[in-house]
Structure 1
Amino acid sequence: RTHKTDWTHSLVFHLIDVAQVVLALWDRALPDSTRGYFVRTLQMDQESARKWLGFIAALHDLGKACPPFQGSYPPGRQALASALSFPDTGNVRTPHGWVSAYALRELLPRRLGMARSVARQIAYAVGGHHGVFPSAHALNELGPARRGGQDWEAVRRDLFEALAELFGVRDLPPWPSDTADTPAFWTLLAGLVCFADWIGSIEEYFFRLDAPDLPAYAGRAYNQAVAALEQLDWTGYTPPTGVPDFSSLFGFSPRPLQEEAIKLAPRLTTPALVIVEAPTGEGKTEAALFLADAWLHRARQRGIYVAMPTQATSNQMLGRVRRYLEHRFTRGDANLLLLHGNAAWAKERDEVRLSAIDEEGESTVVAQSWFEVNKKRGLLAPFAVGTVDQALLSVLQTKHFFVRLFGLSHKTVIFDEVHAYDTYMSTLLQHLLRWLAAMETTVILLSATLPSQTRRELVKAYTGRNSADLQAGQNLDSSMPYPAITWATAEGEEVVPLETSSTSARTLALEWHASPPESWLPQLREALDDDGCVAIICNTVARAQELYGLLENEHLVPDEDLILFHARFPFAWRQEIEEQVLRRFGPDTPDRPKRAIVVATQVIEQSL
């Protein structure tokens, strides 16, 4: 590997670099839940699993020992030309990860006696570390000119043997053959290797290292890997200990729904799906955070991701999660990110970043830039709030989808406003639930209400079974109580009926009016004679703009109290409008006007 200037980094050293990052992650960063998953799947002790994973990660770039890659650096090609052939491959692209996969399909069975079914899965997992898994067809299309002839095969074999000796894999328990049919495991392995490769490729940490032999180099590379993880804040987080008091965690006494969550928390000792259905204002978010906190300290999980339906709701939720983390963590080890397409311009994100620059050193919540530079890395951070698409991308055919899944694994993922999902999003959510269940990730779904069919489908997606009679004597159908908490684990399901607080008791009057404004403007004018605030929700932006223009001419309220709110405003303008609406119409606001009209699209109910 070459630097922009005049020096190179040996391939075998880079392979060791990435392996040492995996070992450092195992020792310093991966929580008990993740390490335990690998140990159980590999059916061996922790130290053996650690060494096997480090060895497999080292093999990821074995394919760089091929003519196209080595020939791309003229001085290197000149130095190697006397011993190795460089056939003309034309302009045909040869991804080195594919050459790695091609080589490992044979090297692992022949040199280590590994089952071919397992060797293929390892080959595909590490061969896709640049974002896309190679297909069998693509590997078979790699002719001798692209992968190199017997001379290059000998080089790759020598590298393989040097690494096998360094990690002592022949003295370890054999890799079990029944892992071949565990897709979740291979996905997590691919995410771990890819992440380690990103760290191991940071030039300032590794590229000037040298040593007289490979064992000595491995020791130096391990120290650099630990230093890199510490500076990137991957070693600061440890799961909290002890069960917190709800009031001290959130600053207020629990409501009826939250009381039930407090009772439920000690019962959920394994990964679970929890569905909370209750009206707005009952405290679903704090109940979810309390349950997630219980899993953090009991299951030693990696963190929490809160998935919101829109960017605006993500921005608002960031502050609530930040306050929870500030109460829960006493040191600066809670790394909180905001993840969505416009996160870089969100004021709420800047507040988290600025709070980390605390003259008194009292801030416990920080936003680390390395995780934010590349949007694919965000879910690797222990704590994040963002849009739901950031999670759903992990089950779409996108580059590095397996890194996103690795980031979500062994966490608690909270999906808010699930009732707002359309058919497409609901289908993706069910697909994601299957993966998260396989990766021992707890999921909490928050919703005002859910159709009985949707509820059944969500439980089936997570548990893999049709819902049987519940312990409470209920089925997941229309006869269920409301509000309620439904939870499901590998062992079964149960429904917990909830009481509602007095704040949810209200009377709504519904009246039908024809669409033309002339049919309802007189009633609106009459209602505003006694003052009041009005929200007009339209199905399209064009309709909202039309009604806003009409109401401007009617002069029903002062000009500054007539507000147009939709999603097509430039981001900065929309953010200002959101802040204005929240400031003037939010709960307990002192600035609520006597008379005002907000003309909006559905963004007002999904974003605020």
Structure 2
Amino acid sequence: MTPPTVPPSGPQQPNAHQPSAAVQVLWAKSGQKSEGEGWLPVLHHLLDVGACAQAILEREPPSTRALLAADFGTDTDTALRWTCALSALHDLGKASPAFQHKAEGLARQVWQVLPWQDHSAATPHGTVTQVLLPGLLAEHGWTSAASQRVAARIAQAIGCHHGQRDTRDRVPDRGTGEEWKAVQNELLTLVLQAFGLQDAPPPPIQSWSGEAFMRLAGLTSFADWVGSSFVLEGEPDPLPFRDPAAYLEQKLIQARAELDRIGWTVRQPLAPELRTPDETFAYLPSFAARPLQTLLAELLNVPSDRPALVLVEAPMGEGKTEAALYAHLQLQRAAGHRGLYVALPTQATGNAMYGRLRTFLGHQVTAGGGEAVTVDLQLLHGGAAMQGTYQADLERTAQAAARPNTQAPARSAEEQRLFPLPNEQKLTDEAESVRAAEWFSHRKRALLSEYGVGTVDQALLGVLNVNHQFVRLWGMGNRVVVLDEVHAYDTYTTQLIHALCRWLRALNSSVVLMSATLPDQTRRDLLNAWGVTPDAPPCYPRLTVARLGDAAPISRHIPGPRRNVKLRLRPLDPEVATLAAQAVTLAAQGGTVAVIVNTVQRAQQVFVAVRKLLGDRFQSMYQGSRHPERIGVHLYHARYPADERLDREERTLRYLGKQPATYTRKGAVHTEDMRPERFILIATQVAEQSLDFDADVMISDLAPIDLLLQRAGRLHRHAANEGRRGAHCIPTLYVAGLADWPKAALDAHKWKYIYAPALLYRSWYALQGRDTVALPDDLDLLVQRVYDPLCPALEGLTDDQERTLRCADRELNSLRRTHITTGGQAHIGEPDTFLELPVQPSRGEPEGEPVQDDPAATAGEEADEPRLGTRLGDESLRIVPLHRYDTVYLDAKGRETAQVATLRRDNWDLARKIYARSLQISRHDVIAALKANPTVRGNEHRGWAAHPLLRDAEPLELVNGEILLGKTRLRLDLELGLVYERLE
């Protein structure tokens, strides 16, 4: 095994650097470490990454570069040079025995010119960078106490590029000495020379802020990922040792080409010429600007380049989504923001919004005359691999990138527009103008994409102590971030949202918060998180705008006209048999009935009871279609394999969404009116948020008032359905548990494990004596009454009821205090205190998205400690039901083996099929049983354990469709989904 030779120094220019032998043999990357073939010196990699940082910043909007100038306290050009040079120095720690010993052949070359001792420590080279850099910078003028403090913070920012920062000031790195320090200093000098900073004084700043840390750390990791993709090409180029600036110029060309390849181009306004809301949304049939949209456009149409917080409190049907998208266009132009992320409560709502945002973007980029431009849009949540439209966009984008491009050479940053498609001069279809680049589809990179939609959890990972959280924050910085349905989260997650708002404000982002209504305390807390003093709110519905730097917000009542609905309110006994009988009776009268209950088990029971009552009149809307003489029944909840859940979600919208509906059957696309004449939808909470469906009459379990009215917002939602509602011309809401004091129902039906009993009692009380509820007029009044933080006494209760309520109030207040404390401890800290807090070890990447919706599945059992992820909850596990015959198969007919231990890492087609059959469970006894007897899933090279999509999935082997785990039988039913049966 022959060690690599020292690169020849070549002819020297008069003032060229005379490289040491040591700097020429330190290696950073090796194609085959043990063989020493195909290697890259440390200096080359440092300059490669510095070039990538420069290329990235070239394509950022001017506002991003201005932020860096403020970070360094210098002019923009100097700040960019320092930023790129410091990003380049991220791997300075590789110039140490801690790293150099890792490849035997390459290490022998180092031994010849640098002192060496036996070395067994595994100190991460990023940590070594953090320790070395401040002292080396001191030799280049960073000698003052302030400069050294800043240097230490900067060293942490660039040294944590592998995911986590480290505050150790000493590392076990034996073998260092003056010779090693000399070559480390030589590397630093060469990098500074490349960026024209060899004689520059240190930046004139006294401190380094939390937001400056995030900007530098996020950029460094991004640039390192791009620079590390450069192909190793035989013997290293000797140029950087002689003239690092010339090498940097060469690599800048390569960096630009690589950014072109992955789809990172110039960040510029989506709508260079802002049009009116009516012009912007002209692609929507019969669109006319609503008062909310007009008022928001007016409040934002001021001569200011400052980011803003926008808080929208308005009922369903006011056009909140279009208002947020238009606000993005205004803020993007005024404040120089670089993109948009829309965050929603669930995967289902994210899927629905992906289509809407995709259409919006497609129309905006073609509105100026059909220019050949596209934008990148990513879907961010744990089930994105199953979303058909998004996967089709990924495939189409990959195919377009693979086509040969024989046109002119790559354009400069100034000449680029939004993601040019090769070989296309004019777009004829808006859908073709939206792409999804595969490079950004990886979960840590997805928020780097210019546009995105997904769950709020993906955004909240930016403020949790997980690996590369700073990349997520960097991606959301100087951007518009929309948080929809902000009323939908518990106190714990709301604390994380507050922290996210503070960080987004510090990172020069604008935030749009939307809700049907908010408790007054929640509104005040959100405004405080943005740093403004809450005002006295105007009448509901209302709009609030707070510019960065303003002491107080501007709040306005949103005028009418608006759609007013008077719901007829009817109590109903909560027994399953009663709900089923009422649903059948209502459906027999014609029209569509929605039954929304609080647990999956209850939904399954109602479905079984309805099916039995209907007998021959039953028609499964999952296995069949409309039948003129039968009543269609459809079950929708989260305890289905992912592909079936998505199919059931699509069918819910196909039958109850806006008509005509477009759907695929047997590979062919159909568009027709699919609304049944008689139909029963039975669903859980997954149907209450953002799914745009319309029911003629509704039955709902008692729930907290805001969520109950959110469900009721699906009644008579689409005006086009008037005249075809059967006997249900008056929107009617039947509430199970409303007739009598609901304590017995909370116990019997396990509602007390789903929602805080105090909120259920107070919601029940707020509706007593009412025959109707007027929406939106009664909405805010009822919500404020139920969520009053003072918990006022309720008149007319019996002594026993008062004692029950007082006890429930105490439990709720205690829970809120606990969640406030827990949420405050879970996030990384505030921008102004983050760097002063002790560094905690990473908690990995918690999967906090609510992909299951049955917290009562383990009611009455002892719970583990809550997971401190994006949401509090019990431990969960992703399982894949398989079918055992002679071996295990993915399908019940035994046609495709699951390859649990043999799947190849590059077999993404089968991996996606397997993942499509997965679902997440949180039942304690089932998880314990599976963990006690884990299935062998291969190793680090083959099998599920080796595949990124399946490494956390546990096989669940079924025989005849079921399995017994401890005292619980699990059965996979085509109609019911995964069914739990507890055996005594």
Query: Among 80, 91, 96, which residue is 2:110 paired with?
Result: 80
**Is the CA contact 1:314–1:386 (under 8 Å) kept in the aligned structure 2?**
yes
The alpha-carbon distance between structure 1 residues 219 and 524, as it changes in their structure 2 partners (threshold 3 A), is closer
Task: Tell me, in whole angstroms, the C-alpha distance in 2 between the residues paired with 1:338 and 1:151.
Answer: 50
Does the alignment pair 1:296 with 2:296? no
Does the aligned pair in 2 maintain the 1:125–1:187 contact within 8 Å? yes
Over 3 Å counting, the alpha-carbon distance change for 1:292 and 1:418 in structure 2 is same
Deviation at 1:495, TM superposition (A): 0.9
Counterpart among 299, 322, 333 of residue 264 in structure 1 = 299
- Is residue 220 of structure 2 the alignment partner of residue 193 of structure 1? yes
Cα distance, 1:553–1:207 mapped onto 2, change above 3 Å: farther
Amino acid at match of 2:533: N
Conservation of the 8 A alpha-carbon contact between 2:594 and 2:682: yes
- Residues of 1 paired with 2:125 and 2:77: CA distance? 30
Distance change (3 Å), C-alpha of 1:579 and 1:410: same
Tell me the percent identity.
37
Is 2:49 the partner of 1:18? yes
Secondary structure of the residue aligned to 1:178 is coil
Q: Distance in 2 between matches of 1:43 and 1:292?
A: 29
What is the CA distance between 1:36 and its match in structure 2?
1.1
Mapping 1:353-432, distance limit 5 Å: 353=394, 356=397, 357=400, 362=427, 363-372=432-441, 374-432=442-500
1:88-126: CA deviation from partner (whole Å, max 9, x where unpaired): 333x32100111111012111232225111011011111
CA distance in 2, matches of 1:183, 1:207: 41
Instruction: Tell me which of 250, 260, 264 is aligned to 2:281.
Output: 250
1:25 shift after superposition = 1.7
Q: Is the 8 A contact 1:194 1:403 kept in 2?
A: yes
1:124-177 deviations in whole A, cap 9, x for unaligned? 1111011100123xx32x1341x7233222221121122223323244453123
| Compared CA separation, residues 545 and 520, structure 1 to 2 (3 A) | closer
Give yes or no for contact 1:132–1:399 (8 Å, CA) kept in 2: yes
Q: Which residue of 2 aligns with 1:537?
A: 596
CA drift at 1:207: 8.0
The reply to whether residue 222 of structure 1 matches residue 252 of structure 2 is yes
Deviation at 1:206, TM superposition (A): 8.0
The one-letter code of the counterpart of 1:25 is I
Give the 3 Å change call, closer, same or farther, for CA 224–521 of structure 1 in structure 2. Answer: closer
In 1, distance between residues paired with 2:98 and 2:522?
52
| Pair 500,313 (structure 1): closer, same or farther in 2 beyond 3 Å | farther
Matches within 5 A, 1:200-599: 200-204=227-231, 210-212=237-239, 213=242, 214-240=244-270, 241-251=272-282, 252-267=287-302, 269-330=305-366, 331-353=372-394, 356=397, 357=400, 362=427, 363-372=432-441, 374-463=442-531, 465-467=532-534, 469=535, 475-476=536-537, 480-489=538-547, 490-491=549-550, 492-502=552-562, 504-521=563-580, 523-555=582-614, 558-560=618-620, 561-589=632-660, 590-599=673-682
Equivalent AA in structure 1 for residue 336 of structure 2: R
Q: Which moved more, 1:267-276 or 1:441-450?
A: 267-276
How far residue 576 of structure 1 moved from its aligned partner, in angstroms, is: 0.6
Contact residue 74 and residue 204 of structure 2 kept, 8 A: no
Structure 1 residue corresponding to 2:157, chosen from 125, 133, 137: 125
Which fold has the larger relative contact order, with Cα–Cα distance below 8 Å and residues 6 or more apart in sequence?
A: 1
What CA distance in whole angstroms lies between the structure 2 residues aligned with 1:48 and 1:188? 16
Using the size of structure 2 for normalisation, the TM-score is 0.58
Query: What root-mean-square deviation, in Å, do the aligned CA atoms of Structure 1 and Structure 2 show?
Result: 2.1
Using the TM superposition, give the Cα deviation of residue 69 of structure 1 relative to its aligned residue in structure 2, in angstroms: 1.1
Q: Cα 1:338–1:288, aligned 2, differ >3 Å: closer, same or farther?
A: same
Question: Which residue is equivalent to 1:111?
Answer: 140
Tell me, yes or no, if structure 1 residue 64 matches structure 2 residue 124.
no
- Checking the alignment, whether the CA contact within 8 Å between 1:315 and 1:348 is kept in structure 2 is no
Whether the aligned pair in 2 keeps the contact of 1:483 and 1:500 (CA below 8 Å) is no
**SS at 2:31 equivalent:** coil
* Residues 1:153 and 2:181 aligned together: yes
Mapped contact 1:211–1:217 kept (Cα < 8 A): no
SS in 2 for 1:175: coil
Kindly name which structure, 1 or 2, has the bigger radius of gyration based on alpha carbons.
2
Q: CA deviation at 1:263?
A: 1.4
Aligned residues of 1:71 and 1:86 also touching (Cα < 8 A): no
How many residues in Structure 1 have an aligned counterpart in Structure 2? Answer: 589
Structure 1: segments with no counterpart, 5+ residues: 470-474
CA contact 1:205–1:225 (8 Å) conserved in 2: no
Preserved CA contact (<8 Å) 2:72 2:205: no
Matched residue, 1:472: none
Q: What SS does structure 2 have at the residue aligned with 1:307?
A: strand
The structure-2 alpha-carbon separation of the partners of 1:394 and 1:326, relative to structure 1 and needing over 3 Å to count, comes to: same
Letter of the 2:387 partner, please give it: A
Cα offset for 1:520? 4.8
Note the alpha carbon deviations across 1:542-566, whole angstroms, 9 max, x for none: 1111111111101086322111110
* Distance (whole Å) between structure 1 residues aligned to residue 256 and residue 76 of structure 2: 19
Q: CA offsets, 1:199-254, max 9 Å, x none? A: 11113388876243223221211111111112222115422412123223212221
Higher strand share: 2
Contact 2:655 2:676 in 1 (8 A): yes
Q: Distance in 2 between matches of 1:522 and 1:300?
A: 58
The one-letter code matched in structure 2 to 1:563 is H
Q: CA shift at 1:383, angstroms?
A: 0.4
Is this contact kept in 2: 1:269–1:298, CA < 8 A?
A: yes
1:601 paired with 2:684, answer yes
> Which amino acid in 2 is paired with 1:116?
Q
Separation in structure 2 between the aligned mates of residue 512 and residue 178 of structure 1, nearest angstrom: 66
2:511 aligns to what SS in structure 1? strand
C-alpha displacement of 1:458: 0.5
C-alpha distance in structure 2 between counterparts of 1:574 and 1:208, whole Å = 53
- Offset of residue 323 of structure 1: 1.6
Contact 2:584 2:610 in 1 (8 A): no
Pairing of 1:92-111 with structure 2 (within 5 A):
92-111=121-140
Whole-angstrom CA distance in 2 between matches of 1:326 and 1:312: 22
- Could you tell me how far 1:352 is from its partner in structure 2? 3.2
529-538 vs 394-403, which moves further = 529-538
User: Is the 1:205–1:224 Cα contact (8 Å) retained in structure 2?
Assistant: no
> What is the identity, as a one-letter code, of the residue corresponding to 1:393?
L
| Letter in structure 1 aligned against 2:156 | Y
Change (3 A) 1:207 1:500: farther
Structure 1 residues 288, 207: CA separation in 2 closer, same or farther (over 3 Å shift)? farther
Structure 1 residue matching 2:89: 3-state secondary structure: helix
Tell me if the contact between 1:309 and 1:387 (Cα under 8 Å) persists in the aligned partners: yes
1:523 deviation in Å? 4.3
Alpha-carbon distance in structure 2 between the residues aligned to 1:218 and 1:334: 29
How far is the alpha carbon of 1:53 from its aligned partner?
0.9
Partners in 1 of 2:266 and 2:206 — Cα distance?
35
Offset at residue 179 of structure 1 (A): 3.1
